[in-house]
Amino acid sequence: MLYKYTIDGIYKVKGINNISGEVSVSGSKNASLPLMVASLLTDEPVILHNIPNLLDVQVLIKILEDLGKVIKFENNTLIIENGNNENCEASYKLVKKMRGSIMVLGPLIAKRKYCKVSYPGGCAFGPRPIDLHLMGLEKLGASIRLEEGYIKAYSNKLVGSKIDLSGKYGSTVLGTDNILMASTLAKGETIIKNAAFEPECDNLANMLIKMGAKIEGVGTNTLKINGVESLKGVEYSVIPDRIEAGTYIALALATKANIKIKNVEISHLHSVINVSKSIGAKIEIKENMILVDASKNNLKPFKIETLPYPNFPTDLQSIFTAVACTINGRSYIKESVFPDRFTHISELNRMRANVNLNKNTIVIDGGKCLSGADVQASDLRAGASLIVAASASRGISNIHRIYHIERGYENIEDKLRSLNVNITKKEDDIL
């Protein structure tokens, strides 16, 4: 009997090119997803600009279409209109492809009174519980049952409540989005304490306000929401992707390059800029552009800790681990958001890096020239760290399982080529 194989791609990266040039950052993946989901809260059209064309966006389009929305996506503009709202189920087949789809839970209960959403599984960096999402929705009055791998939730009318979203590892970004969206249509006042205030959460809150929601405290860790009867349609733009911008900064640091990064929101990047300056890179800022020059000074090893915004983001932890591999001396990166986000370490060590884990602190003894190797991406950001390392390595690296990378970086090959990275894509033979 023949097995059915899925063909994935490989990036072939030839390292130590002269990295230079300019690159433009796309709209933020992690901001786009909640804005798309918020369309479930209204019967009117939602038009979203600057949406990156990515695998995760395509999966969410499919989920929203299954839930009855009619969607057009062209030139980074997404038009979401109402179709048939009868289906309230997000299937395992789609939810398993993207954990972010758990966000449909709040809007569906609030607007359609019932939903059945596949329980998301773990991922490459640990179990990733959703207890805070469920606790918040129950506090708003939803009845929730877990059956046959699905979350079934009902409520005739959600009622405002006081909800504390602090967990063992800080607040929750998607949990805040979920509860915030649900509470916009709940009766009365909701107070969310220890809300996440990542720029992606603020982007959502500001769009909800434009749709007619009553929300106070945007940009802080306490949100006060006064429920309204209905929300209107909206036309809105997604913020630039701060993690994509941080990835190009890291590429410049690792390859000792001088590059220009356009279309960035500087205020979202302070922690990354400060770390890069403290390492010894020259950073110049011009409106929405960053010029990174890591070509002149010898860069210094560094110590950072990942924490919720405005601190250094966990999504750049693996990528800065690759940077540390290229800097002489010992660097330390403590991961304090996800207790188990370390699968990049073994792959970097295949490239002759010297990276070890001490509890949740990554210890990197850097400076030895990395060597190209066959490696595989285990998740999106781990994959990006391998591209950065491969670009700074002697020889050729083949990065396997690149669908992870394509989930979150729009036109990554073309953009890297515009920075003179020697990258090509080929099909991966599974056998």
User: Which residues are the active-site residues?
Assistant: 123
Q: Which residue has the tokens 């990942």?
A: 306
Whether the CB-CB separation of 420 and 21 falls below 8 Å is answered with yes
Query: CB under 6 A: which stretch of 36-44, 109-117, 123-131, 389-397 binds ligand EPU?
Result: 123-131
Whether the CB-CB separation of 81 and 54 falls below 8 Å is answered with no
Residue 172 in contact with ligand EPU, rule: CB under 6 A: yes
Whether the CB-CB separation of 12 and 396 falls below 8 Å is answered with yes
Instruction: Tell me which of 315, 335, 406, 428 binds ligand EPU, using CB under 6 A.
Output: 315
CB of 140 to ligand EPU, least distance (A): 15
CB-based contacts of 359: which residues, under 8 Å, 6+ apart?
none
CB of 394 to ligand EPU, least distance (A): 29
Residue 179 in contact with ligand EPU, rule: CB under 6 A: no
Residue 131 in contact with ligand EPU, rule: CB under 6 A: yes
Residue 128 in contact with ligand EPU, rule: CB under 6 A: yes
Whose Cβ is closer to ligand EPU: residue 33's or residue 275's? 33
* Pairing mode, strands 422-428 and 329-335: unpaired
Residue 119 in contact with ligand EPU, rule: CB under 6 A: no
231's tokens = 């929300």
Residue 381 in contact with ligand EPU, rule: CB under 6 A: yes
Instruction: Tell me which of 168, 287, 429, 430 binds ligand EPU, using CB under 6 A.
Output: 168
Whose Cβ is closer to ligand EPU: residue 173's or residue 231's? 173
Residue 337 in contact with ligand EPU, rule: CB under 6 A: yes
Site string for ligand EPU, 58-97 (x = CB under 6 A): ----------------------------------------
Closest to 31 in 3D by CA, of 308, 214, 244, 317? 244
Residue 116 in contact with ligand EPU, rule: CB under 6 A: no
Query: CB under 6 A: which stretch of 162-170, 245-253, 260-268, 277-285 binds ligand EPU?
Result: 162-170
Residue 33 in contact with ligand EPU, rule: CB under 6 A: yes
CB of 129 to ligand EPU, least distance (A): 4
CA gap 165, 173 in Å, rounded: 10
How remote is the C-alpha of 419 from its chain's centroid?
Answer: 23
Angle at 96 between CA 91 and CA 102, to 5 degrees: 70
79's tokens = 């038009």
Whose Cβ is closer to ligand EPU: residue 135's or residue 228's? 135
Angle at 226 between CA 225 and CA 228, to 5 degrees: 125
Residue 100 in contact with ligand EPU, rule: CB under 6 A: yes
Residue type, 84: N
Residue 406 in contact with ligand EPU, rule: CB under 6 A: no
Measured over the CA atoms of residue 349, residue 353, residue 354 and residue 357, the dihedral's sign is negative
Strands (E), 176-301: 189-193, 214-216, 222-226, 234-237, 258-262, 282-286, 289-293
Residue 130 in contact with ligand EPU, rule: CB under 6 A: yes
Query: CB under 6 A: which stretch of 170-178, 281-289, 352-360, 409-417 binds ligand EPU?
Result: 170-178
Residue 310 in contact with ligand EPU, rule: CB under 6 A: no
Whose Cβ is closer to ligand EPU: residue 130's or residue 355's? 130
Whether the CB-CB separation of 126 and 339 falls below 8 Å is answered with yes
Whose Cβ is closer to ligand EPU: residue 171's or residue 393's? 171
Instruction: Tell me which of 174, 207, 238, 386 binds ligand EPU, using CB under 6 A.
Output: 174
Instruction: Tell me which of 173, 211, 257, 279 binds ligand EPU, using CB under 6 A.
Output: 173
Instruction: Tell me which of 111, 133, 139, 415 binds ligand EPU, using CB under 6 A.
Output: 133
Q: Helix, strand, coil shares of the chain as percentages rounded to 5?
A: 35, 30, 35
Kindly write down the DSSP assignment for every residue of 96-150, as one continuous string.
TT-GGGGGGHHHHHHHHSEEEEEPP--BTTB----HHHHHHHHHTT-EEEEETTE
Residues 238-297 that bind ligand EPU (CB under 6 A): none
Closest to 93 in 3D by CA, of 147, 9, 150? 150
Contacts with ligand EPU by CB under 6 A lie at 30, 33, 100, 128-133, 167-169, 172-175, 196, 200, 314-315, 337-338, 380-381, 408
